[in-house]
């Protein structure tokens, strides 16, 4: 999986680099450039995928995939806490709906009773 992820990131870089250059991409060596870059690479990419691989190893893939539905609500909460964005009733309703959906997908269910033969 790591090799596949490396290939995917390399192809994405090669595909998007011409678009970045066409938009006037310029490189400035500054702390304001390296801090978000380090966050994106280390926390989002490396940390996120390491956590994903760990969860896949410990749980079923379906349960791990269900957790992806919590990303928008968690992002909304971070936006509220860090960027002072407003949490509207629609956002909170979506958060509750996503949470219930993840709970339904990841809860341990008991198998239905098998019909007994007499």
Distance CA 97, CA 42 (A): 30
Please write the tens of the pLDDT for every residue from 19-36.
988 988 887 889 888 888
Q: What pLDDT does residue 70 have?
A: 82
Q: What pLDDT does residue 18 have?
A: 92
Q: How confident is the model at residue 56 (pLDDT cuts 50, 70, 90)?
A: confident
Q: pTM score, two decimals? A: 0.49
Q: How confident is the model at residue 116 (pLDDT cuts 50, 70, 90)?
A: low
Q: Say which residues have a Cβ less than 8 Å from residue 94's Cβ, sequence separation at least 6.
A: 72, 73, 76
Q: What pLDDT does residue 19 have?
A: 92
């Amino acid at each position: 999986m790591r090799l596949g992820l490396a290939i995917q990131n390399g192809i994405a870089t090669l595909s998007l680099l011409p678009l970045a250059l066409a938009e006037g991409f310029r490189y400035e060596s500054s702390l304001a450039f390296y801090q978000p870059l380090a966050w994106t690479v280390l926390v989002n990419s490396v940390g996120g995928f390491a956590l994903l691989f760990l969860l896949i190893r410990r749980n079923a893939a379906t349960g791990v995939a269900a957790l992806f539905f919590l990303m928008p609500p968690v992002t909304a909460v971070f936006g509220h806490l860090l960027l002072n964005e407003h949490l509207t009733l629609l956002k909170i309703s979506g958060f509750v709906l996503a949470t219930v959906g993840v709970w339904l997908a990841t809860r341990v269910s008991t198998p239905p009773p098998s019909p007994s033969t007499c």
